[in-house]
């Protein structure tokens, strides 16, 4: 940053003295700390959020990390069928990879978006009467796991 630009930023603060200057510095410090804390919190929750709610592909990595001396064997394919009021969904997991084998939306349900895999997580975003709900499936240690999230 050029010296002139730094002076231009500091000039309004330098023009004030006493309690006004202290208040400006306090507010600027508070804003900077708030932005930093929010960023750290966002990164922490997005990194371990799936583990905290007991789902997601991180469960398998965590298990492997605890047992360095044991090489993991590939899990046999497993599939599950979920019947929800908005849709019926059949998913197969091979390791951490989920694939939708079959799905059928309930009558009156509109499809907003889909990711049918193969992927670490698949989802169906469904709309019924203006309320969008996401049906998301992760493979947690080779087992399909459904997570239902309101999106609207």
User: Domain residue spans in the chain?
Assistant: 3-52, 74-150
- Residue 59, pLDDT score: 46
Would you give the DSSP letter of residue 71?
Answer: P
CA separation for the pair 105, 99 (Å, rounded): 17
Six-digit token pair at 89? 């969904």
- Residue 105, pLDDT score: 92
* Mean pLDDT value of segment 4-29: 70
Nearest to 86 by CA among 64, 109, 114: 109
Q: What is the mean pLDDT of the chain?
A: 78
Nearest to 14 by CA among 3, 25, 2, 5: 25
Model-level pTM? Answer: 0.52
Question: Does 84 have pLDDT greater than 80?
Answer: yes
């Amino acid at each position: 940053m050029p010296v002139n630009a730094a002076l231009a930023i500091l000039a309004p603060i330098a023009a004030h003295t006493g309690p006004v200057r202290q208040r400006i510095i306090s507010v600027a410090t508070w804003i900077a700390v708030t932005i930093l804390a929010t960023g750290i919190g966002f990164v922490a929750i997005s990194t371990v959020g799936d583990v905290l709610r007991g789902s997601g592909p991180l469960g398998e990595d965590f298990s492997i990390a605890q047992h360095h001396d044991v090489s993991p064997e590939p899990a046999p394919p497993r599939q599950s069928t979920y019947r929800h009021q908005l849709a019926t969904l059949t998913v197969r997991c091979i390791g951490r990879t989920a694939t939708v084998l079959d799905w059928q939306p309930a009558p009156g349900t509109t499809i907003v978006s889909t990711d049918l895999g193969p992927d670490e997580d698949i989802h169906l975003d469904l709309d019924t009467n203006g309320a969008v709900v996401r049906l998301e499936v992760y493979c947690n240690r080779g087992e399909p796991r459904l997570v239902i999230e309101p999106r609207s």
